[in-house]
Amino acid sequence: MDMFTLTILLIVIAVALLIVGILSQREGMASADVEERLERFGTHHSAAQQESDERDREESAIAGRVGKAVQNRDVGKSMATMLARADIKMTVGEFMLLRLGTTIGVGLLGFVLGRGFTEPLIGLLVGLGLGVIGWMGPHWWVSSVAKKRAKQFNDQLGDTIGLMANSLRAGYSLLQCMELASRETPEPMCIEFRRVVREMGLGISSQNAMQHMLDRVPSEDLDLLVTAINIQHEVGGNLAQILDVMGETIRERVRIKGEIAVLTSQGRISGYIITALPIGVAAMLFLLNPEYMSTLFAWPWICLPIAGIGFMVTGFIVMQKIVEIEV
Q: Give the predicted TM-score (pTM) of the model.
A: 0.68
DSSP, collapsed to helix, strand or coil, labels residue 63 as helix
Spatial separation of the C-alpha atoms in residues 139 and 119, rounded to whole Å:
31
- Name the band, by pLDDT with cuts 50, 70 and 90, for residue 263: confident
Spatial separation of the C-alpha atoms in residues 206 and 201, rounded to whole Å:
10
pLDDT, tens digit (0-9, with 9 covering 90-100), for 138-179 = 888 888 888 898 888 888 888 888 888 888 888 888 888 888
Question: Is the pLDDT assigned to residue 275 strictly greater than 70?
Answer: yes
DSSP, collapsed to helix, strand or coil, labels residue 109 as helix
Tell me the average pLDDT across 28-32: 47
pLDDT, tens digit (0-9, with 9 covering 90-100), for 88-126 = 887 877 888 888 888 888 777 777 766 655 556 666 777
Spatial separation of the C-alpha atoms in residues 109 and 3, rounded to whole Å:
13
Question: Is the pLDDT assigned to residue 30 strictly greater than 50?
Answer: no
pLDDT, tens digit (0-9, with 9 covering 90-100), for 206-247 = 888 888 888 888 888 888 888 888 888 888 778 888 888 888
Buried b (16+ CB within 10 A) or exposed e, 201-212: bbebebeebbbb
